[in-house]
Amino acid sequence: MILTEFKPAEEIIEKIKDDRKIFILGCGGCPEGANTGGKKVLSEMKEKLEAEGKNITGVTEI
């Protein structure tokens, strides 16, 4: 059994608060089926980080 855990955006924002340029890397496959990964989740995270003033340099799914 594979278990994935979604980190809340607030936790991620706190960890990267001093960083300006961010590249988002996410996993597809299993996390996508659990709604903790995939293109939709990456897109939502990109929007949240941009709303916080972060410069998103790229987004990709592996």
pLDDT tens, position by position, 16-60 = 999 989 999 988 777 666 677 788 889 999 999 999 999 999 999
For residue 34, the model assigns a pLDDT of: 67
In the chain the first and final C-alpha atoms are separated, in Å, by 20
Residue 6 lies in a domain: no
For residue 27, the model assigns a pLDDT of: 84
Residue 42 lies in a domain: yes
Residue 59 lies in a domain: no
Residue 44 lies in a domain: yes
CA distances from 50 to 2, 19, 21, 45, 55 (A): 31, 12, 10, 9, 6
Domain range for 41 is: 13-18+28-54
Please name the residues in contact with 33: beta carbons below 8 A apart, sequence gap of 6 or more.
none
The whole-model pTM stands at 0.81
Distance CA 58, CA 25 (A): 8
